[in-house]
Amino acid sequence: MKNQARVVVVGGGVVGVATLYQLAKMGWRDVVLLERNELTSGSTWHAAGLLPLFNMSYSVGQIHKHSVALYQSLEEETGQAVGFSQVSNIRLAMNRDRMDEYHQYAGVARTIGIEVKFLTPQDVLDIWPLCNIEGLVGALQHPGDGYIQPADVTQAMAIGARNLGAEINRQVTAEGFTQKPNGEWQVRTDKGDITCEHVVSATGNYARRTGAMVGLDIPVIPVEHQYIVTEPHPEIVKRHRDGLPELGVLRESDGSWYLREEGGGLLLGPYEKGAPICYPDGPADGAEYELFPEDLDRLAPQIEAAINRVPAFGEVGVKQVYNGAIAYTPDGSPIVGPAWGLRNFWLNEGHSFGVTAAGGAGWQLAHWIIEGEPTIDMLGVDPRRFGAYANAGYLKAKNEEAYANVFTIHYPDEERPAGRPLRLSPCYDRMQDLGAVFGQKAGWERPNWFAPTGTPQTDDWSFRRSAWFEHVGNECRNVAENVGLLDMTAFAKCRVSGPGAEAFLDGLIANRLPKSIGRINLCHALNGKGGVHSEFTIMREASSSFYLVSAGLYQRLDHDWLWRHMPDDGSVQMVNLTNAKGVLVVAGPKSRTLLQRVSTANFENNAHPWLSAREITIAQAQLMAMRVNYVGELGWELHHDIEYQNHIFDALMAAGEDLVLKPFGIRAMDSLRYEKSYRMMGTEISIEYAAYESGLDRFVHPDKGDFKGREALLAWRERGFANSFATLEVHGAGDADALGNNPIYHDGELVGRATGGNYGFRLGKSLALAMVHPEMAAVGTELTMDILGTGYKVTVIEESPYDPMNERPRA
Ligand SMILES: Cc1cc2nc3c(=O)[nH]c(=O)nc-3n(C[C@H](O)[C@H](O)[C@H](O)COP(=O)(O)OP(=O)(O)OC[C@H]3O[C@@H](n4cnc5c(N)ncnc54)[C@H](O)[C@@H]3O)c2cc1C
Taking only the tens place, the pLDDT of each residue in 684-726 is 999 999 999 999 999 999 999 999 999 999 999 999 999 999 9
User: For ligand 1, is residue 228 a contact (CB within 6 Å)?
Assistant: no
The 10s digit of each residue's pLDDT in 533-566 is: 999 999 999 999 999 999 999 999 999 999 999 9
pLDDT at res. 209: 96
pLDDT at res. 563: 98
For 212, 644, 681, 725, the CA distances from 752, given in Å and listed in that order, are: 44, 47, 18, 10
Over pLDDT 70: what percentage of the chain?
A: 100
Task: Report how far ligand 1's centroid is from the alpha carbon of 127 (Å).
Answer: 32
pLDDT at res. 289: 80
Pairing of strands 661-663, 483-487: parallel
Secondary structure of 463-491 as H, E, C letters = CCCCCCHHHHHHHHHHHHHCEEEEECCCC
pLDDT-derived band at 500, boundaries 50, 70, 90: very high
User: For ligand 1, is residue 173 a contact (CB within 6 Å)?
Assistant: yes
User: For ligand 1, is residue 107 a contact (CB within 6 Å)?
Assistant: no
The number of the ligand 1 atom at minimal distance from the alpha carbon of 269 is 3
pLDDT-derived band at 622, boundaries 50, 70, 90: very high
Over pLDDT 90: what percentage of the chain?
A: 96
Task: Report how far ligand 1's centroid is from the alpha carbon of 334 (Å).
Answer: 12
pLDDT at res. 126: 96
The 10s digit of each residue's pLDDT in 263-315 is: 999 999 999 999 999 999 889 888 878 899 999 999 999 999 999 999 999 99
Task: Report how far ligand 1's centroid is from the alpha carbon of 225 (Å).
Answer: 12
Q: Which of 326, 329, 365 to mutate to test the pocket of ligand 1 (most atoms within 8 A of CB)?
A: 326
The number of the ligand 1 atom at minimal distance from the alpha carbon of 348 is 26
User: For ligand 1, is residue 43 a contact (CB within 6 Å)?
Assistant: yes
Distance CA 694, CA 673 (A): 15
Distance CA 717, CA 621 (A): 49
pLDDT at res. 203: 97
User: For ligand 1, is residue 20 a contact (CB within 6 Å)?
Assistant: no
Kindly report the average pLDDT of the chain as a whole number. Answer: 97
Distance CA 110, CA 740 (A): 12
User: For ligand 1, is residue 521 a contact (CB within 6 Å)?
Assistant: no
Q: Is the pLDDT of residue 767 over 90?
A: yes
Choice among 27-36, 55-64, 182-191 with the minimum mean pLDDT: 55-64
The number of the ligand 1 atom at minimal distance from the alpha carbon of 352 is 19
pLDDT at res. 392: 96
pLDDT at res. 285: 85
For 488, 590, 601, 639, the CA distances from 595, given in Å and listed in that order, are: 18, 9, 8, 14
pLDDT at res. 475: 98
Task: Report how far ligand 1's centroid is from the alpha carbon of 204 (Å).
Answer: 5
Task: Report how far ligand 1's centroid is from the alpha carbon of 597 (Å).
Answer: 61
Q: Is the pLDDT of residue 655 over 90?
A: yes
User: For ligand 1, is residue 151 a contact (CB within 6 Å)?
Assistant: no
The 10s digit of each residue's pLDDT in 116-163 is: 999 999 999 999 999 999 999 999 999 988 999 999 999 999 999 999
In 51-153, the DSSP E strands lie at 89-93, 117-119, 138-142
Q: Is the pLDDT of residue 59 over 90?
A: no
pLDDT, average across residues 727-750: 96
Nearest residue (by CA) to ligand 1, atom 12, is: 353
The number of the ligand 1 atom at minimal distance from the alpha carbon of 202 is 26
Distance CA 698, CA 522 (A): 10
pLDDT at res. 48: 87
User: For ligand 1, is residue 37 a contact (CB within 6 Å)?
Assistant: yes
Q: Which of 19, 20, 43, 295 to mutate to test the pocket of ligand 1 (most atoms within 8 A of CB)?
A: 43
pLDDT, average across residues 741-764: 97
pLDDT-derived band at 57, boundaries 50, 70, 90: confident
pLDDT at res. 512: 98
Task: Report how far ligand 1's centroid is from the alpha carbon of 163 (Å).
Answer: 23
The number of the ligand 1 atom at minimal distance from the alpha carbon of 34 is 43
Half-sphere exposure of 189 (CA within 13 A, CB side): 27
- Residues whose CB falls within 8 Å of the CB of residue 263, separated by 6 or more in sequence, listed in order: 229, 232
pLDDT at res. 616: 98
Q: What percent of the chain is helix, strand and coil (3-state, nearest 5)?
A: 30, 30, 40
The number of the ligand 1 atom at minimal distance from the alpha carbon of 227 is 1
Half-sphere exposure of 437 (CA within 13 A, CB side): 23
For 752, 795, 798, the CA distances from 746, given in Å and listed in that order, are: 9, 11, 19
Backbone φ/ψ region at 542: left (φ over 0), alpha (ψ -120 to 50), beta: beta
CB 683 within 8 A of CB 769: yes
pLDDT-derived band at 54, boundaries 50, 70, 90: confident
Specify the DSSP element, H or E, that contains 127.
helix 121-127
pLDDT at res. 490: 98
User: For ligand 1, is residue 294 a contact (CB within 6 Å)?
Assistant: no
pLDDT-derived band at 762, boundaries 50, 70, 90: very high
pLDDT at res. 95: 97
